[in-house]
Structure 1
Amino acid sequence: MGKFCLPEDMSAVMIGGARRAAVTSVLVVLTLVAVVGDASVSGANGKPAGLTAAPAVAQRLVARQAPAELGAVTAIAAGYGHSLALRSDGTVLAWGRNSEGQLGDGTLDPSLTPVRVCAVGQVAPCTRFLTGVIAIAAGFVHSVALLRDRTVVAWGQNVTGQLGDGTSTDRSVPVRVCAVGEVAPCSQFLSGVRAIASGDSDHNLALLVDGAVVAWGFNAFGQLGDGGYAGSPVPVRVCAVGESAPCGRFLSGARSIAVGEGHSLAVVGTGHAVAWGFNGAGEVGDGTSDNFRPIPVRVCAVGETAPCDRFLNGVSALAAGAFHSMALLGSGSVVSWGYNVEGQIGDGTRDNHRLVPVRVCAEGQVAPCDRFLYGVRHIAANGFHSLAQLSSGGVLAWGYNGYGQLGDGTRVNRLTPVRVCAVGEVAPCGRFLYLIRAIAAGIDHNLALQPNYTVVDWGLNNHGQLGDGTTSDRSVPVQVLALQGPAKSSGDAG
C-alpha cells in the first residue's frame, strides 16, 4: 500500500496505484499553495482541512508468535500504521497494520501487540525468526533491517520496488536486497552497508562503509538521486553534486542519511548537508522551490538567498518529514526548512515554505524568537511534525497535533517545541518523559525508548500501531504491551 501525502489535500490515504496516479497532481497542488497562500488552515478539531484517518480495520486481539515479554529493546522505528522494535538479541518485533505484510510475520493480519519478524524464506506459521539485526527502518508500509553481516533485508509492500529484491511483489516475510546492477532472481546481494534509512516514503537509502550511498524504490521526483526519474527495484548509486545523467561521479564521503516522502538527505565530508528529490516546498534547501532535483545539491546556510554563496556545515545528523527537513548541528542546535503550514519548522510561524534553513525556537518562545533550541542529542521527523531528544533525555515535539502526536496531552498544533508528557499524565502535564534513550517518528505517531529499555508511544492508533492492545489514539505516551506466551527459539536470517 502507498500514500503520497499532499499537503493541501491529505483527506485521502492513497493506496497502491492511487499513490502513483497522485504524482502528476503534486506540482499543481504546491503551485496553488504558493499562489493562494495557506489553504490548509486547521479546523476546530485541530486537524488540517479535509484530513481523515483511514478507517480502523479488524484487529487480532491475540497475536501469534508473540514473545513471552517485550525484552530489552535497543532501537525503534515507525511507519504509517506500524511500528518496529529491535531487541538486544538481534530479533525484531512489529505491531500495527499488516495489510501488505509489513509486520513480517508471514501473514496479512494486523496485530495490536508485538509479533516476531520471521526469518528469510519462512512461511507462516514461522518456526524461525529474523536474527543478527543491528539496525531497523520503517517506510510507509514496508520495513527494512540491516544485518550484522552488513547485508539488508526488507518486507511489506513492494509495488514500486521498495524491497529491493528486483521484483514488485509484496512480501510478508523478509527478502534479501539485491546488489547494484542485479536483475531478479538476484545472485548477488547488497553488502558493506553501514546504515539504512526509510520514512514516509516508498524508497530507501543505504550508506555503505566506503561512504557511498545507494537508493532503490519509487523515483518519480528524482529521490533516488541517480539523475533520472525511473524507479528501480534494485539499488542504484547516488550521483555526486554537480553531475548530470548518466553520472560519471557518485556521492562519496557520506556520514549520515535521511529519507522524506519524496526527497532524500545526506551529510557528507566534514559536515555539509546535501539533498535531492522533490522540492516543491523547498525541502531540498537550496533557496528555490524548483520542483525536482534528481541530482544532489548543497543545502544553503541560514539566512542565505538563492543563488547561495554559503552552505550549511557542521551537521551531525539529518531528519525528514513529508515535505520538510531538519539538521542537528554539532553545537546541539537544530535548523529546519521546507513546508511549514502546520508549524513543523519550529520557528514560531506558519509561513508556507522556508527555502533555506531557519533556527528552531526554544521551548515557550513566540515569533520572532530570541532564544533557540540547543542541547539536542537526536532529531526525528515524519509526516507534518518534528521531534528532538535532549541531552538530558527529555523529548520535545512541534507541528501538527491532530492525533496527539506531539504528546503534550492536547490536540493543538504547536509552532515551537513543547515537552512530551510522561506516561499516565493528563494535560496540563506535571511530569514529562526523561532519560529517554532513542526516539522515532511515524507519520502520525511516535515511539520513545525508556531508560529500562521498554518502549512507549503516542499519537494515531487506528491500526494498533501504539501496541497497547487498543485502537484508541493517545495524546500522552502509553506503554507497548507484550502478550504472555511460550517463547520460540530464534533462527538466523535465512
Structure 2
Amino acid sequence: MVQLAAGRYHSLALAADGTVYAWGLNTYGALGNNSTTNSTTPVAVSLPVGVHIVQVAAGAYHGLALADDGTVYAWGDNYYGALGNNSTTQSTTPVAVTMPAGVRFVQLAAENRHGLALAADGRLFTWGYNNSGQLGTGTITDSLVPVAEASGTVAWTGPAAGPVANHSLVLGPGAAVYSAGLNQYGQLGDGTTTNSPLFMRNLAPLPVQLVSFTAQAAGPAAVRLAWATASEVHSAYFAIERSLDGTTWQELGRVAAAGSSASPRQYAYPDQAAPAGVLYYRLRQVDQDGTAAYSPVQTLTLGAGGLALYPNPARGGAATFSGIAPGAAVRVLDALGRVTATATADATGTAHLTGLAPGLYVVQAGASSLHLAVE
C-alpha cells in the first residue's frame, strides 16, 4: 500500500497499482463496493474500468479518490452533497464528481461531510455541508458541486483532512495557515471563537514568507525560475520541482535558503533542459527540522525553438508570448477561428496579450502557434 485514509468508522488504502481497498462501517456505502454490508477485512472499491487512482481521502461516511487525469470519484453518504455530483443521493459505488470547466485537481482532502480539492492553477474548490461556513464561500449554503472559495486566491498549496471536522484548514500564500468554518472552541486559530464563512489567516508563525514565484522562458529548452521571500526562520533549502501533467513531480535541484533572516531575499534557478509542452513548476521549502511546505504552482507552455506562452492557463485575461521575432505580428484566434486580439512583439521578441475573455485560443506568430486557455 502507498497511502491510507481514516474516516469516522471506515478506512481506505491505496495500492501501488491504483486500486483502492476499504473496510469498516458500510451503512451509507462508504466502502464503495456496491453493498451496505460492513466488512472487517479490506474489500476492493468498485472503481470504473480503466480508472487509475493516485490519492484517497476519507470523510465521516464517504470516500474520495483522485484519478491520474485530475478528475475525482466519490462514494457513500451524500445527504449534504459530499459526493459533489449535483445530487443528494447516496451511492454505494464511486460516482464522478462534477468537475469545474477546464479544471484539473492535484490534491484532495475529505472532512466530516464536505470535500476540498486543490487545482493545478492553485485555486481551492470545496463542496458539501456548509452549516458553519466550512466551504469558505462566504455563505452557509451547502453546495452539491465543487465551487471556488470566495477569495479568488491562486496560491493555495495544501488542504488538510479531518473526518469529523466542520472546519477546514489550508496552506496559503507564504506557507501561512488559513481556516474557515466552525470555531466554537477556537479551532480556526484566529484568536476568536467566531465562525468564519471565509478562509482567514490564523496566528501560526510563518517559517518562510514567500512573496513571489515566477516561471518564464529563457531561451530554447530553458526556463528561469525566480522567487523572493520577505523573511525566513530556520529555513534549510528550496527544492525546485517540475511536472509534465500536474500530478507526478520530479525534483530538478536545490537552492540553499538563508536560514533565519528578517530581510528580503531573492532566489533563482535555471531549468536548462525543459521539454516542449505544458510545464508545471513548484517550490518545496524545507525547514531545518525537515518539515516542508509547497509554493503555488506556476505553469507555462514551451514550444519548439524557444516559444513560450505563460501563464497557461491564464487568469485575468492576460498572458505573455515570447521567443518570437522582434516586431512580429501576433494574432489570437478563438475556437471558431476568429481573431479576437492582436499584438506586436517588442525588441526582445515578447508580446503581451490582454483583454482575453475566458475560453480556449490559438496564439499565432507567423508559422508558429501555441494553444492558450484563459480562465
Contact 2:127/2:135, CA 8 A, preserved across alignment: yes
| Structure with the larger RCO, 1 or 2 (CA within 8 Å, 6+ apart) | 1
Summarize the Cα distance change of 1:223–1:313 in structure 2 as closer, same or farther, 3 Å threshold: farther
Partner of 1:194: 106
The Cα shift of 1:301 comes to 3.7
User: What amino acid is the match of 1:149?
Assistant: D
CA distance in 1, matches of 2:54, 2:209: 24
Alignment of 1:170 onto 2:93: no
CA distance in 2, matches of 1:171, 1:91: 19
Once the two structures are aligned, what percentage of the paired residues are identical?
37
Please list the CA deviations of residues 65-123 of structure 1 after superposition, one character each: whole Å capped at 9, or x if unmatched.
Answer: xxxxxxxx111101011111100100001111111111011011111111101124xxx
Partner of 2:3: 75
User: What amino acid is the match of 1:239?
Assistant: A
User: What amino acid is the match of 1:257?
Assistant: P
Alignment of 1:216 onto 2:127: yes
Partner of 1:267: 171
Describe how 1:416-427 pairs up with structure 2 within 5 A: none
Contact 2:5/2:56, CA 8 A, preserved across alignment: yes
Partner of 1:124: none
Alignment of 1:207 onto 2:207: no
Contact 1:220/1:229, CA 8 A, preserved across alignment: yes
Partner of 1:253: 155
Q: Hey, which of these two has a bigger chunk of strand by percent?
A: 2
Partner of 2:146: 235
Is the partner of 1:254 in helix, strand or coil?
A: coil
The Cα shift of 1:285 comes to 1.1
Summarize the Cα distance change of 1:178–1:84 in structure 2 as closer, same or farther, 3 Å threshold: same
Please list the CA deviations of residues 395-423 of structure 1 after superposition, one character each: whole Å capped at 9, or x if unmatched.
Answer: xxxxxxxxxxxxxxxxxxxxxxxxxxxxx
Contact 2:207/2:234, CA 8 A, preserved across alignment: no
TM-score by length of 2: 0.54
The Cα shift of 1:149 comes to 0.4
TM-score by length of 1: 0.42
The Cα shift of 1:284 comes to 1.1
**Ranges in structure 1 where 5+ consecutive residues have no aligned partner:** 1-72, 121-127, 181-187, 241-249, 303-311, 317-328, 333-373, 380-494
CA distance in 2, matches of 1:92, 1:133: 7
The Cα shift of 1:251 comes to 2.4
Moved over 6 A (4+): 329-332
CA distance in 2, matches of 1:151, 1:166: 15
Which of the two has higher C-alpha Rg?
2
Contact 2:103/2:120, CA 8 A, preserved across alignment: no
Contact 1:156/1:170, CA 8 A, preserved across alignment: yes
Is the partner of 1:270 in helix, strand or coil?
A: helix
User: What amino acid is the match of 1:141?
Assistant: Y
Summarize the Cα distance change of 1:237–1:96 in structure 2 as closer, same or farther, 3 Å threshold: same
CA distance in 1, matches of 2:30, 2:119: 24
Partner of 2:269: none
Please list the CA deviations of residues 427-477 of structure 1 after superposition, one character each: whole Å capped at 9, or x if unmatched.
Answer: xxxxxxxxxxxxxxxxxxxxxxxxxxxxxxxxxxxxxxxxxxxxxxxxxxx
Contact 1:79/1:140, CA 8 A, preserved across alignment: yes
Contact 2:117/2:126, CA 8 A, preserved across alignment: yes
Summarize the Cα distance change of 1:264–1:222 in structure 2 as closer, same or farther, 3 Å threshold: same
Describe how 1:37-56 pairs up with structure 2 within 5 A: none
Partner of 1:40: none
Describe how 1:86-485 pairs up with structure 2 within 5 A: 86-120=14-48, 131-180=51-100, 191-199=103-111, 201-240=112-151, 250-260=152-162, 261-290=165-194, 292-301=195-204, 312-314=206-208, 375=289
User: What amino acid is the match of 1:138?
Assistant: A
**Ranges in structure 2 where 5+ consecutive residues have no aligned partner:** 211-232, 237-287, 294-375
